[in-house]
A and B are shown apart, each in its own frame.
Chain A
Amino acid sequence: MTEGWMYFFGLLIFVSGLTLIFTKNLIYAVFLLASCLLSISGFYAIYNASFLAVIQILIYAGGNLILLAFGIMLTNRSPEGKVIVGHHLLFFGVSIILSMALVVYALLDSPTILAQEFYQTTGQVREIGKRFLTQYILAFELVAFLLLVVLVGASYLGKKSQHA
């Protein structure tokens, strides 16, 4: 069952990702990205990381993507919705993919991830909360502070552009 779902979501990620790269229509690209991100959250869900799946939907599909789509909607609609795509970033793209593959390969070999840890589901959220406020308190507070700074900065920038 899990394996079937894995292939289903994997195929969905693969197809929508590839179409996303090769489509010339900007708004199609946004919706394909949505399908890609949702399939990734499906992947999290079938491997019992339900909290991560929900966060993926909330932050990426519900937050970032809406902002992206908003930006694209407010730009001018080019004739037939086509965009001109160059290939000058090909080298960086390929090198990023290769280094990601290397990292994944290294993680597969690393002994820190144990198989039985994947199936502990009960009390997941509680455990994450406890770890955040004890073991990882510094990182948690720093991230919170960074987000606060971003929030204040964003509202300041918004105000400034209004008066300029």
Chain B
Amino acid sequence: MHTFLFYLPFLLFFVLAAVYGERKISAFIQSRFGPMDVGPKGIFQTLADLLKMIQKEDIIPKSADKPIFLLGPILVFTAIFAGFSTLPLNANLAGAAVESGVLLLMAVVSLDVLGILMAGWGSNNKFSLYGAIRAIAQIVSFEIPLGLSVLCVVMICQSMDLQEITREQGLYATDPIFLFGLKVMNVEVTQMGGLLSWNIVKNPFLLFSFLIFFIAGLAEANRAPFDLPESESELVGGYHTEYSGFRWGIFMLAEYGAMLLISFLAVILFFGGWNTPFINIGSFQLANWTMGRYWEVFWLLSKTLILVFVQMWIRWTYPRLRVDQLMTLSWKYLTPFGLLLVFLCGLWKLTML
């Protein structure tokens, strides 16, 4: 239920803030000012853009396949938003009570390919269709390294429930947690909580797994350096070339939603979800003091927003990949490394933990 009551308003507000934030961050990276005119420091620029977008005429090309053309953007956003349903918010508010939560998330989010296909085909424009083919090839191939890196976490945690995975990374863990996952050193940190019980510290292999996850996640969310579907400078748009006004806005909403979803998933799988980063040291019970209903929401959201910032930072730092380089990266580098990591995590689980 909190998906509708919390995540939907949060997503809408996030998009407003993130568009402004992205412009300001890109301006900072390129030594510019960014939007400055509308409101103090240009803070109302996104609102003005939104007003402009809503006022635009809703154009449907004459030879477009009307029902498919209209349904496309809605399906893309629905698929991304349905992914939010499995996310927990704090220790008491779990997501949808599905045992195979991560799997459901991956399955539902992969359906946005169908919406992209509808948009590309329905536009009845060969460049839109090429854009759709490019986007789908990208999303389908990067799902494999993404799935492999998620599999590493699932193997270590022995659960696919996102709430369960989060709970095992903090003070509420039921199994004892050892420092760096090394039982031989016999330093138990279950009561210390915080940073030391996060998955990437619990099992150092998961750090590499996180890198693969993050790269593949960027490609899934169509973010730079993998934003071929909408590379405005050289390919002139992709599957959403023919859309105008608010229908185009829904695509942007879906893109920022996917960005947020990937960050949420990365935080939950690798960085302890709603668990605090502080550690209990002696009488300084920092972890205990910073855990509670609202603290947990705060930790989840702040870690997620940091990852969103990293995504924007990457966007304005790296140049865009060509489509063949993209495929090479996915199939020749990320997938073999992902397989290797799955193997190593299996060994780690059998011998160390």
Contacts and interface: CB of A to CB of B under 8 A. Distances in A.
Interface string A113-124: 000000001111
A73 B117 contact: yes
A31 B114 contact: yes
Interface string B39-76: 00000000000000000000000000100100000000
Contacts of A54: 98, 100, 103-104, 107
Given A125-B99, A125-B100, A62 B113 contact: yes
B108 to A, nearest CB: 7
Given A27-B65, A31-B68, A70-B136, A50 B111 contact: no
Interface in B98-148: 98-100, 103-104, 106-108, 110-111, 113-114, 117-118, 120-121, 129, 132-133, 136, 140
A124 B99 contact: yes
A15 interface: no
B99 A122 contact: yes
Contacts, number: 62
A129 B104 CA distance: 17
A73 B133 contact: yes
A64 to B, nearest CB: 12
B160 interface: yes
Interface residues of A, number: 24
Given A58-B110, A125-B160, A50 B99 contact: yes
A62 B110 contact: yes
A35 B271 CA distance: 36
Contacts of A121: 99
Contacts of A61: 107, 111, 114
B160 A57 contact: no
B117 A69 contact: yes
Nearest to B132: A73
Nearest to B102: A54
Given A62-B111, A65-B114, A50 B136 contact: no
A73 B129 contact: yes
Nearest to A28: B68
Given A54-B104, A58-B110, A73-B129, A27 B68 contact: yes
Interface in B78-102: 98-100
Contact of A34 (B114, B121, B140): B114
Interface SS of B by simple majority: helix
- The CB with the most chain B CB atoms within 10 A, among A54, A70, A74, is that of A54
Contact of A66 (B107, B114, B129): B114
Contacts of B99: 50-51, 121-125
A2 to B, nearest CB: 15
B108 A57 contact: yes
A125 B136 CA distance: 30
A27 B118 CA distance: 9
A51 B140 contact: no
Nearest to B106: A58
A31 B118 contact: yes
A58 B133 contact: no
Contacts of B132: 73
Nearest to A45: B98
B296 to A, nearest CB: 25
A57 B65 CA distance: 26
Contacts of A62: 107, 110-111, 113
Interface in A98-148: 121-125
Contacts of B111: 57, 61-62
Nearest to A129: B158
Contacts of B113: 62, 66
- The CB with the most chain B CB atoms within 10 A, among A62, A65, A124, is that of A62
A69 B119 CA distance: 13
B121 A27 contact: yes
Contacts of B108: 57
A31 B71 CA distance: 11
Contacts of A57: 104, 107-108, 111
Of all A-B residue pairs in the complex, the 4 with the closest CB atoms, nearest first, are: A58-B107, A57-B107, A62-B110, A54-B104
21 contacts: A28-B68, A51-B103, A54-B98, A54-B100, A54-B103, A54-B104, A55-B103, A58-B107, A58-B110, A61-B107, A61-B111, A66-B113, A66-B136, A66-B140, A70-B133, A70-B136, A73-B120, A73-B132, A123-B99, A125-B99, A125-B100
